[in-house]
Amino acid sequence: MEYHIPVLLENCIEGLDIKSNGIYVDVTFGGGGHSREIIKKIDKGLLVGVDQDADAEVNTSEFDDKKFKFISTNFRYLKRYLGMKGIEKIDGLLADLGISSHQIDKPERGFSTRFDARLDMRMDQGQELTAEKIINTYSRDQLQRLLGTYGEVRNARTLAENIIRERIKTPVKTTGELTGILKKFVPANKQNKYFAQVFQALRIEVNDEMGALKEMLVQSADLLKSGGRLVIMSYHSLEDRLVKNFINTGDLGGNEVKDFYGNSKRPLNPLNRKPIKATEAEIRRNPRARSARLRIAEKI
C-alpha cells in the first residue's frame, strides 16, 4: 500500500510557481508525494522536507542529497531549524495538514476506529502525551472543551461526564474500549461520523495541531521572500478558518491590521478567495481528498 496519496497534487505544484533555483519547504513531508513533484522542477535550488513522524524519514532515501535536506521536527520550529541550516528566506512553503494514510493504516498508532489498538495518536512517538492519558486524566471541563471545540461534538458535556464515570470503573486504554463508550450516545447510522469527530478532537489535542499551525503560519510570513508562495491544504473548518484569516488579514483572528495611514499591513496576498476543492474524479481515486481545502497566497 502506498504510504500516502498526495491530494490536489497538480494544484499544489502550480500554486508554488516553482523556480528552478529556488528554495522550497514541504513542512508535511510524509510519504514524499508532493516533494517528488517539487524536486523535479528544481535544478540548482533546494527542497527541505520537514516531518515530526520518524516513519517519514524512511521515504527520503530516493532524494538527491545535493537538492534535498530533511529535518525531523514539528513544523512549529521551522524558522529555528532552517536557520540552523543557514536558510533565512524561502521561495515557497507547502503544508498538507492533518493525518496521513500511513498513520491511519497502522493499527498500533491508534488513529483509526477500524482497529482495536492502544489509544496513542502521537505523530511524534517521542512525546509523552497520548490519547489514553487524555481520556484517563483530563477533568470534565477539559474533556468537554476539546470535544466541543476540536470535534464539534454537540453533547460534549454529557460525553465527558460519562467518560469519567466509565474510567473510574476501569481505565480506558484502547480504541475499542473508547468506541464502546461512544456507541451509547449516538444512533447506529450516525456512529462513523460521531467516532470521527471524537477521534479528531483527541488527535488535535494530543499533537497540539492548532497551536503548531498558528506558530507555523506566523513564521511563514517572515520566511517567504517577496513573491514567494504559501500553499496550504486543510481538512476541517478549524484549520481552514485559521489559514483563511491569516492569509486575508495577517492576523490569526481575522482582524485587519492597518498602519498609521490606514493601509493594510497584511504580509500575504490571497490568490484564491474561495478554497480549491478536489474534482469528483480525484475523490473517486482518493476518498481522503473529499474534505481537502486548498488556499494559496503570495508574499507581498
User: Of 32, 26, 69, whose CA–CA distance to 233 is shortest?
Assistant: 26
Whether 174 and 107 have beta carbons less than 8 Å apart is answered as: no
Type of residue numbered 298: E
Q: What is the dihedral of CA 151, 153, 159, 163, to 10 degrees?
A: -10
Cell 512517538 belongs to: 125
CA distances from 258 to 249, 255, 266 (A): 9, 10, 8
pLDDT in tens, 36-73: 999 999 999 999 999 999 999 999 999 988 999 999 99
Joined grid coordinates for residue 119: 489509544
- What count of residues does the chain have? 300
Identify any residues that bridge with 233 across adjacent strands, giving them in sequence order: 96, 294
How many Å apart are CA 174 and CA 178, to the nearest integer?
6
Q: What is the dihedral of CA 211, 216, 218, 220, to 10 degrees?
A: -170
pLDDT in tens, 165-197: 999 999 999 999 999 999 999 989 999 999 999
Instruction: Show Cβ contacts of residue 32 under 8 Å, excluding neighbours closer than 6 positions.
Output: 3, 49, 56, 59, 60, 62, 63
267 — phi, psi (to 5°)?
A: -85, -15
Domain annotation for the chain: domains and CATH numbers: 9-101+209-299 (3.40.50.150), 107-207 (1.10.150.170)
Cell 532524494 belongs to: 63
Joined grid coordinates for residue 125: 512517538
How many Å apart are CA 92 and CA 34, to the nearest integer?
13
* Tens-digit pLDDT string for the chain (300 aa): 456 689 999 999 999 999 999 999 999 999 999 999 999 999 999 999 999 999 999 999 999 889 999 999 999 999 999 999 999 999 999 999 988 888 888 989 999 999 999 999 999 999 999 999 999 999 999 999 999 999 999 999 999 999 999 999 999 999 999 999 999 999 899 999 999 999 999 999 999 999 999 999 999 999 999 999 999 999 999 999 999 999 999 999 999 989 999 999 999 999 999 999 999 999 999 998 999 999 999 999
DSSP structure string for 171-231:
---BHHHHHHHHGGGS-GGGHHHHHHHHHHHHHHHHHTHHHHHHHHHHHHHHHEEEEEEEE
How many other CB atoms sit within 10 Å of the CB of residue 89?
13
